[in-house]
Structure 1
Amino acid sequence: MSNPLQGAQFVLAAHRISQLPADQGAEVAFAGRSNAGKSSALNALTGQRGLARTSKTPGRTQQMVAFALPSPQGGEPVRLIDLPGYGYAKVPEELREHWKREIDAYLHHRQSLRGVVLIADIRHPLKEFDRMMLDFCFATQLPCHLLLTKADKLSRNQAAQALAAVRKSFADGLHATVQVFSSQAATGVDEARARVAELLRTPRG
């Protein structure tokens, strides 16, 4: 199966949304807690091991990082945006507040944003940040796809139970799509690539 996210290239790292590439075309943002495996997921989806920096020290992504994808011939630009990891990084409170404001502004005002891929560790219940992001996406009708990462750390039965528990928690009206994922074992990679590609093709509502 060909990879629709192949050919991703680093463009820039931005400290403010005003420094991101021009707000044109289509982009999908990746969000999640710093220790949930966001960089590994990005690398697995693009098929480039060193595209997003992975580290044994969670919280290394402290800027918005833009990656360009090959756009269709004569088409609008297409991007992936890696948002700063949340909740674990030992960073000053002032920087945390800065990123809270910038991410909030990005999600509210970025016209090229087509959806969010939310990364959460399958071994733990969804955290407050995860639920806030899901609530925000639902309230603003922004599509969200939840990757339950590190599935290789559980048995297949345990992973299925964790997936069912998350789906059950969505019964109160959240409309995110969700899947089991492991960058280590390549579990769910094709499914996730297809979902991201679909989001990039979806016109903004």
Structure 2
Amino acid sequence: MKTPIKIYLTAAAFITASAFMGCSNSKTNNASYEADTANKAAIAHKDTTADGLKADTAKKKLDDKASKFLVKGCEANMYVIELGEMAGTHATNADVKAFGVQIATTHKALNTDILKQAFNASFKLPGGIDTDHAKKLKDLDKKKGADFDKAFLSTATDAIKKTADDYGDAHLNLPPSSTKDLANAAMGKLVTELNNAATLQGSIK
């Protein structure tokens, strides 16, 4: 299986975003590492104003927390999208297939929201999934029939739960901001996905 390296954007959005969305080509081959490193450097650079005075410390901390959440959320959403699209073509159970299509669609929308936030703040986003997620996709791709359906539901549940935890952390710990609002708005969708996955797991023999 070839794991595509992509961010899910409209053509126009891709053109405007391409200036700050680099590929995952760090020494660790970790898609999020490069983005986090670049954002940390950019935030540190903005810490000093033109007249040499220190910028608002609270603003710097907010930028740091927000950028880390957006990077992690973007990569996690790309992973769920890959899982969902694989289920859309590999699953044998019609409900599992439909669930895969649904989560792919939902997480594309979540990443569109993240893209807007990142673009407005000039934050860099990862250009692909991390290596551990790529390995999990490769392992899942080897399974067939009912074995695939069961493995997909287990893998997707774990991925969505971790994503929900990250969004929940941002919801609880970020100070009032547009990034916090983004996290708040997504929580209901993620909880619904987890409930639907649990229902499907209970129905698959």
Task: Give the TM-score normalised by structure 1.
Answer: 0.28
Q: Structure 1 or 2: larger strand share?
A: 1
Structure with greater Cα Rg: 2
Task: Give the TM-score normalised by structure 2.
Answer: 0.28
